[in-house]
Chain A
Amino acid sequence: MIDKTVSSLEAAVADVCDGATVMIGGFGSAGQPAELIDALIAQGARELTIVNNNAGNGEVGLAALLKARRVRKIICSFPRQADSQVFDALFRAGQIELELVPQGNLALRIQAAGAGLGAVFTPTGYGTRLAEGKETRVIDGKPYVLEFPIKAQFALIKAHRGDRWGNLVYRKAARNFGPIMAMAATTTIAQVSQIVPLGALDPETIVTPGIFTQRVVAVPPVNADEA
């Protein structure tokens, strides 16, 4: 019997090694797998490369991982926010490397990795400093920039419900990067509000088919509205 469910957060992240590239889902705190990140902090892996849209908010979740000095490099589109003080301090002190990527190119490069593409020509960023030094090509009269896939050993994502085969559905705008990161990582670990029996998820509405998910761990929501 195939059972991708894992009984604890600790077990879910036990094999994340030093130097790994880890995608973390979420847009701000919506969809951020905060409990998995806490487990990763406790696990202790260092020198990580993190892929996320942002660079942490406040002092929790991704910000706490940065504060614990586990992150060597972050690949993101929007690090600077009103409450990104942890990242800001590390960046100004030269203690974290930043690869800034336009948000759509971030999504596209993650998708390219998941889809097995070698690279993608994208119009976004052409002629800007974020495309400096990159190969370009004019196709049908329009200029494009060549962007390469972002792959990862691990993706930590948050979904709403999952089953033991790893099928996932999401909740509202918390979906954001979850489905595409699940496709791009070798090992995708999903924290879900609820694990349901096989067959309980409507196959017409499954967003992430189980082939993209390796581990599922239940984290009941604090807020009852999200159950």
Chain B
Amino acid sequence: MNKWTRDQIAQRVARDIPEGAYVNLGIGLPTKVANYLPAEREIFLHSENGLLGMGPAPEPGKEDAELINAGKEPVTLLPGGAFFHHGDSFAMMRGGHLDICVLGAFQVSKTGDLANWHTGAADAIPAVGGAMDLAIGAKQVFVMMDHLTKSGACKIVDACTYPLTGIGCVDRIYTDLAVIDVTAQGLIVIDSAEGLTFEALQQVTPVPLLRTRG
């Protein structure tokens, strides 16, 4: 089956982020999106630990332990960037001020429920961080994930079996097979990997998919 690589998914997400957008990229796969944001577009990256206008990683030797991102990796601040405390940072998220957040996921349901913080395993040490705030707070929530798990189960499901992060919060799903909008009418496929037919995509997806509008 034809698939997009992780970098291609990141590239595809980056294409959909417009000039002037305030954007939070979640820990893990979504951080790759930053590598593909076109230089000519001014986009404000938010990091929930208290940065707006986050820049790329510093040159080796220029790291500052007090200038890190949400994944605790060293970053830089662009001219015009700002620092703020956690109360303000989460008000930006919860208060609907961010235009887009991009999150990883274990599962997304057909109605846009998101599960991305806990596998449900009894012995797992839980950790949630800012996932629940981002899920319900950003104007648009994009999810980036593999379409299938390593064992072949589809991560787009009728109802999440893992503990939920948020209800009905996902707007768009980017997988290695397709880009799918979560709408009141259902899941609409708006793009798919080259050579992958709608029927082949539907075959590996256990919930009904709709073809692109128009």
Rounded to whole angstroms, the CA-CA distance of A84 and B126 in the bound complex is 12
Q: Assess whether A130 is in contact with B132, with CB atoms less than 8 Å apart.
A: yes
Residue interface mask B13-25, A partner, CB < 8 A = 1: 0000000000000
Q: How many residues of A contact B (CB 8 A)?
A: 52
- Residue of A104, A105, A128 touching B165 (CB-CB under 8 A): A128
Q: Assess whether A102 is in contact with B133, with CB atoms less than 8 Å apart.
A: yes
Q: How many residues of B contact A (CB 8 A)?
A: 39
> Mostly helix, strand, loop or mixed at chain B's interface?
loop
Chain A residues whose CB sits within 8 angstroms of the CB of B72 once the complex forms? 27-30, 81
Scoring A81, A103, A107 by chain B CB atoms within 10 A of each residue's CB, the highest score goes to: A103
A1 within 8 A of B: no
Chain B residues whose CB sits within 8 angstroms of the CB of A172 once the complex forms? 64, 66-67, 77, 83
Q: Assess whether A223 is in contact with B87, with CB atoms less than 8 Å apart.
A: no
Q: Assess whether A178 is in contact with B94, with CB atoms less than 8 Å apart.
A: no
B186 within 8 A of A: no
* B127 → A minimal CB distance (Å): 4
Q: Assess whether B87 is in contact with A107, with CB atoms less than 8 Å apart.
A: yes
In the complex, chain A residues 122-140 whose Cβ is within 8 Å of any chain B Cβ: 122-130
A174 within 8 A of B: yes
- Residue of B50, B126, B127, B165 touching A175 (CB-CB under 8 A): B50
A31 within 8 A of B: yes
In the complex, chain A residues 167-194 whose Cβ is within 8 Å of any chain B Cβ: 170-180
Q: Assess whether A108 is in contact with B167, with CB atoms less than 8 Å apart.
A: no
* B123 → A minimal CB distance (Å): 8
Rounded to whole angstroms, the CA-CA distance of A169 and B61 in the bound complex is 26
Q: Assess whether B66 is in contact with A171, with CB atoms less than 8 Å apart.
A: yes
Chain B residues whose CB sits within 8 angstroms of the CB of A53 once the complex forms? 86
Instruction: Flag the segment in A40-48, A72-80, A211-219 that touches B.
Output: A72-80
Rounded to whole angstroms, the CA-CA distance of A30 and B190 in the bound complex is 42
- Residue of B48, B68, B90, B130 touching A28 (CB-CB under 8 A): B68
- Residue of B68, B125, B164 touching A91 (CB-CB under 8 A): B125
A-B contact pairs, 29 of them (CB 8 A): A77-B128, A79-B125, A80-B125, A81-B72, A87-B125, A91-B125, A92-B123, A100-B126, A102-B133, A104-B90, A104-B94, A104-B133, A104-B137, A105-B132, A106-B86, A110-B87, A124-B132, A124-B133, A124-B136, A127-B167, A128-B163, A130-B128, A130-B132, A172-B83, A175-B83, A176-B85, A180-B87, A226-B64, A226-B66
